[in-house]
Structure 1
Amino acid sequence: MDVAAEAGGSVLAARYVARMAAGDILPDAGQAKVVTALSRLEQRIATRRLARKSSALGWLFAKRDVQEPPPRGLYIHGSVGRGKTMLVDLFYDCVAVRKRKRRAHFHEFMADVHARIFQVRSDMKAGKLKDADPIAVVAKALAEEAWLLCFDEFHVTDIADAMILGRLFEKLFDAGVVIVATSNVAPENLYEGGLNRALFLPFIKLIEAHMDVVRIDSPTDYRMEKLGGARIWYVPGEHGTPAEVDREVEKIWHRLAGADGGAPANVVSGGRNLRVPKAGGGAARFSFADLCEAPLGASDYLRLARTYHTLVIDHVPVMDQDKRNEAKRFITLIDELYDKGVKLVASAAAEPEELYRGTEGAEAFEWARTVSRLHEMRSADYLARPHGRGDSQASGNTTGLVET
């Protein structure tokens, strides 16, 4: 399978082949088809940018009668764990766009859109802006900020999203924005069974008119393969010396993040950046101190749970009454990870039952729930859950935002 030759020698294809050669990625015909489609889009974007180099925004806003249409985007769908996120991450890193691009989990992007629409309406009401279509105003601002949008976990469960998507995307496509999206469902199955779905159907047609639809047919669930059979809760003494435990966790991390071990990243939460020490392959790695000794709260943990399908946490300590604040943060963290089906790998000073020794306050009572969840998170049933859908499957806000 010569992916590089098939894709015309693109940067993306070359990097994918290099990762296969390093053993980081297994040969996979389903992924190869998507690599080819992404590589061709990468090359179309590079060619067009060279042709329009004299005007960075010219091809976005020039009149249609003198401009050929922008490259068609891509809608990539398939079952969980097939490598969709990894492939789009590679595309995002390799594509010849340095500034005006945005990588976002879809529902967090929509939360941003709703906030912008609310602000535009408020400004109009206050007389700061002339009356106009708020969605058109927001779409124009988004297009000026980024003409390449990459969405992960594209799915629609919120009627408020469903009712504005058609108008929003129509304006974005008219502005020449190129969209690449991953989803677990085909376009025709978006918002299936949703309220007033007939009003949503034109949006599906819009996707098909402006994006090529590619299904990833890989037979392997790589998330399950990477964690299947591996111990995911390590206790020094029970599972080796501290150094041996650290080495085992490091091995699992490289399975998840890739041979290079990932890189630092930032996650946007409440208008500020959360520092992620290492991220790669849709997973993130922290020390316990990074997550529970820092002034973080439920909204921060929710952002992380929406953004990453797996968290690796090093050196969870035994906590007593003096560490009740850290214990409370850990309880909140596990609640958010569990609710969103996030997989957890951890090294800890003890089994869950022995980690908290406080006897006063709510934490002492809430810890029993945390213990139960930590044990369930090791089970095959939990590991098979799709990311974004944990025990409570009702929530429509299931993703987070990463900007790099």
Structure 2
Amino acid sequence: MTGVIALYDQAVAAGRIADDPAQRAVLPALDRALAAVGRTPPAAGEGWLGRLFGGGNAREGQAAVPGSGGLYLWGGVGRGKSMLMDLAMAAATTTARRRVHFHAFMQEVQAGLNEARRAGAQDAVRPVAEHIAAEVRLLCFDEMQITDIADAMIVGRLFQILFDHGVVLITTSNRAPDELYKNGLNRDLFLPFIDLIKTRMEIAELASPRDHRQDRQAGSQVWFTPADAAARAAMDAIWARLTHGAPPRPKTLSVQGRDLVLPAFHEGVARASFWDLCGQPRGPADYLAIAAAVRVLMIDSIPRLSAANFNEARRFVTLGDALYEARVRLIASAADLPDRLYLEGEGAFEFERTASRLAEMQAADWGS
């Protein structure tokens, strides 16, 4: 097996990444997590949502398997956590592996729970968790964060069942385990999940002083500040160039039985205001649908963010995650530069990651 350490050495030698002592310090923990994979045979079958009630439990009667639950890797924005997770996925020898953004995964889980409830399951979490366990031996979550009370109430039991079935988890987060769901509603009910993480997973901090995202070379201007008449004119010119002067037409996306309208769309290029996208009650499913439908998204008039528009700011963070994961090209006008949009108040810490990603997304090769 080619381990994470060997792949890291190869990437450094090829000049694809810069050698970072802090990253090197956590490589053995990633290799230890991979070594725990495969202690039980994977179950063959189709996708877990598709066969949720199509047949018997593929692992019924098998005993829970003790052992390493995996790795919880945390640290500041831009330190290389996602890159190291990619190396772990490349080094894993099992084909029963999956990497998924935490938001997208929880959307799938919620869909599975709804199916289980419709089928009359008294404990909806168990069949969903068991079918995940029947499909994967290694499950990698990028950017784990808990901001929703519904997710907080589900995730503890879900992880417990996955651990009991021998699934190895690798997850990245900007927060230490004890800081998860900080100040959240009924957080005392969430504390047993934190204890579970600390008991079943190795905890490693990626303590690099360097934000590697900020090192990338910016391309042609795609972020215009302030959001004034000059910014509007620049955005109009880019829209005309990308759409070859075609008249804008709205595009309607169907999301879980609801209509989501992008005001202007042409051949994969969409344009909307911040308030069109984040000023209405929307969730991860909406933003995942947008990211899947467009290759370029132009957003007008992103305001300064603070406690006064906290809900809108949270939605913008979720939108940013979806666009980043899908490598959608973002062009925007805003009140200020990304790292100066949200300077203080509740949510400012979480926005540091978004600001770092927005800076990275301005690189010339982003989306290519």
Give the TM-score of the pair, scaled to structure 2. Answer: 0.61
* Aligned residue among 2, 8, 11 for 1:19: 11
Q: Give unpaired runs (5+ residues) of structure 2.
A: 46-57, 223-253, 257-264, 271-275, 278-283, 304-311, 344-350, 357-368
Shift of 1:105: 1.0
Structure 1 counterpart of 2:142, one-letter code: D
- Whether contact under 8 Å (1:224, 1:383) holds in the other structure is no
- Whether contact under 8 Å (1:159, 1:195) holds in the other structure is yes
SS at match of 1:45: coil
Paired residues, number: 275
Matched with 1:339 is: 316
Shift of 1:95: 0.3
Distance 1:25 1:383 in 2: 30
| Closer, same or farther: CA 346–185 of 1 in aligned 2, 3 Å | closer
| Closer, same or farther: CA 160–389 of 1 in aligned 2, 3 Å | farther
Q: Does 1:111 align with 2:93?
A: no
* Aligned residue among 19, 26, 30 for 1:34: 26
Distance 1:214 1:62 in 2: 34
| Closer, same or farther: CA 231–292 of 1 in aligned 2, 3 Å | closer
| Closer, same or farther: CA 162–117 of 1 in aligned 2, 3 Å | same
Structure 2 counterpart of 1:94, one-letter code: A
| Closer, same or farther: CA 157–331 of 1 in aligned 2, 3 Å | closer
Deviation per residue, 1:331-356 (Å, 9 max, x gap): 48x999993357999999xxx9xxxx
Matched with 1:197 is: 187
Matched with 1:86 is: 83
SS at match of 2:216: helix
Distance 2:290 2:341 in 1: 15
- Whether contact under 8 Å (2:89, 2:99) holds in the other structure is yes
Structure 1 counterpart of 2:6, one-letter code: A
Shift of 1:206: 0.7
SS at match of 1:118: helix
- Whether contact under 8 Å (2:291, 2:328) holds in the other structure is no
Distance 2:213 2:92 in 1: 26
| Closer, same or farther: CA 212–292 of 1 in aligned 2, 3 Å | same
Shift of 1:225: 1.9
Shift of 1:60: 6.8
| Closer, same or farther: CA 178–94 of 1 in aligned 2, 3 Å | same
Distance 2:196 2:288 in 1: 29
Distance 1:121 1:43 in 2: 36
| Closer, same or farther: CA 290–75 of 1 in aligned 2, 3 Å | farther
Deviation per residue, 1:367-394 (Å, 9 max, x gap): xxx5446xx45x653699534579xxxx
Structure 1 runs of 4+ with >6 Å offset: 59-62, 297-301, 304-307, 334-338, 342-348
Distance 1:14 1:289 in 2: 45
| Closer, same or farther: CA 61–101 of 1 in aligned 2, 3 Å | farther
SS at match of 1:111: helix
| Closer, same or farther: CA 13–305 of 1 in aligned 2, 3 Å | farther
- Whether contact under 8 Å (2:101, 2:143) holds in the other structure is yes
Shift of 1:147: 2.3
Structure 2 counterpart of 1:76, one-letter code: L
Structure 2 counterpart of 1:163, one-letter code: M
| Closer, same or farther: CA 117–44 of 1 in aligned 2, 3 Å | closer
Shift of 1:154: 0.6
Distance 2:139 2:197 in 1: 14
Shift of 1:290: 6.6
- Whether contact under 8 Å (2:268, 2:295) holds in the other structure is no
Shift of 1:75: 0.1
- Whether contact under 8 Å (2:113, 2:128) holds in the other structure is yes
Q: Does 1:381 align with 2:340?
A: yes
| Closer, same or farther: CA 40–61 of 1 in aligned 2, 3 Å | farther
Matched with 1:283 is: none
* Aligned residue among 85, 92, 96 for 1:95: 92
| Closer, same or farther: CA 188–290 of 1 in aligned 2, 3 Å | farther
Distance 2:286 2:88 in 1: 27
- Whether contact under 8 Å (1:101, 1:146) holds in the other structure is yes
Structure 2 counterpart of 1:24, one-letter code: R
| Closer, same or farther: CA 23–171 of 1 in aligned 2, 3 Å | same
Cα RMSD for the two superposed structures: 4.4
Deviation per residue, 1:49-108 (Å, 9 max, x gap): 7xx59x879x976754xx86243300000000000000001111220111x222111122
Q: Does 1:71 align with 2:68?
A: yes
Structure 2 counterpart of 1:302, one-letter code: Y
- Whether contact under 8 Å (2:37, 2:167) holds in the other structure is no
Distance 1:106 1:191 in 2: 14
Structure 1 counterpart of 2:30, one-letter code: L
* Aligned residue among 110, 128, 132 for 2:122: 132
- Whether contact under 8 Å (1:156, 1:191) holds in the other structure is yes
Distance 1:29 1:190 in 2: 26
Shift of 1:43: 3.5
Moved more, 108-117 or 9-18: 9-18
* Aligned residue among 175, 183, 196 for 2:165: 175
